[in-house]
A = this chain, B = another copy of it.
């Protein structure tokens, strides 16, 4: 499944044959079964991870044992815990597979090496980071300004397709509401 990442690279950046091969030489292919962990709370995250197939969630568990979904990532997206990676500290997050999933991993040292060696790659990575930051800002804005119903409508508009492959309980958690509330909202909006 490396081809999917290869294609992604070709779309996002211009690389020479050698650069492409250099990148591929560091790639680690990893497969996850549904429910399998990619990262568990307390572990230090050491990779840059790209999903070629499947779907993964990042979440925390609070004192009462409730899960809070921080994000979903599907094919052609990146995942991981940047805070743990950057600070080299144990992660507060869990990441596990919602579906059988395939990833391309790079150890962070190799990834940084690639960034230093290949300016085009470095630029691509920065652009992704900027977009991620913008997305996070928008999510904060939504959480401050929208009602539960608006949050849901905003979500399905922004990520069509997610609703059908991710359990409602997890979507509710991601949106900061209970599954019951989401169920009622869906019933409401279906009527209209």
**A132, A141, A144 interface centre (most CB from chain B within 10 Å):** A144
Contact indicator A70/B144 (Cβ below 8 Å): yes
Bound state CA distance, A173 and B141, in angstroms?
Answer: 11
Dominant SS among interface residues on chain A: helix
**Could you give, for residues 68-88 of chain A, a 1 whenever the CB lies within 8 Å of some chain B CB and a 0 otherwise?**
111000000000001100100
Query: Is A183 positioned at the interface, with any CB of B under 8 Å from its CB?
Result: no
Contact indicator B137/A70 (Cβ below 8 Å): yes
Query: Is A179 positioned at the interface, with any CB of B under 8 Å from its CB?
Result: no
Bound state CA distance, A129 and B70, in angstroms?
Answer: 19
Instruction: Kindly report which residue of chain B lies nearest to residue A83, judged by CB atoms.
Output: B134
Query: Is A139 positioned at the interface, with any CB of B under 8 Å from its CB?
Result: yes
Contact indicator A176/B86 (Cβ below 8 Å): no
Query: Is A145 positioned at the interface, with any CB of B under 8 Å from its CB?
Result: yes
How many identical subunits does the complex contain?
Answer: 2
Bound state CA distance, A68 and B83, in angstroms?
Answer: 27
Name the interface size band of chain A. Answer: 20 to 34
Q: Which of B70, B133, B138 contacts A132 (CB 8 A)?
A: B133
Question: What residues of B have a CB within 8 angstroms of the CB of A145 in the complex?
Answer: 60, 62, 68
Bound state CA distance, A69 and B82, in angstroms?
Answer: 25
Bound state CA distance, A70 and B137, in angstroms?
Answer: 8
Give min CB distance, A143 to chain B, whole Å.
Answer: 5
Q: Which of B60, B129, B131 contacts A130 (CB 8 A)?
A: B129
Query: Is A126 positioned at the interface, with any CB of B under 8 Å from its CB?
Result: yes
Bound state CA distance, A132 and B126, in angstroms?
Answer: 13
Contact indicator A86/B141 (Cβ below 8 Å): no
Which residues of A does B touch, CB under 8 Å?
60, 62, 68-70, 82-83, 86, 92, 126, 129-134, 136-141, 143-145, 173, 176
Q: Which 9 A-B pairs have the closest CB atoms?
A: A136-B136, A83-B134, A133-B133, A68-B144, A144-B176, A143-B143, A68-B145, A129-B129, A82-B134
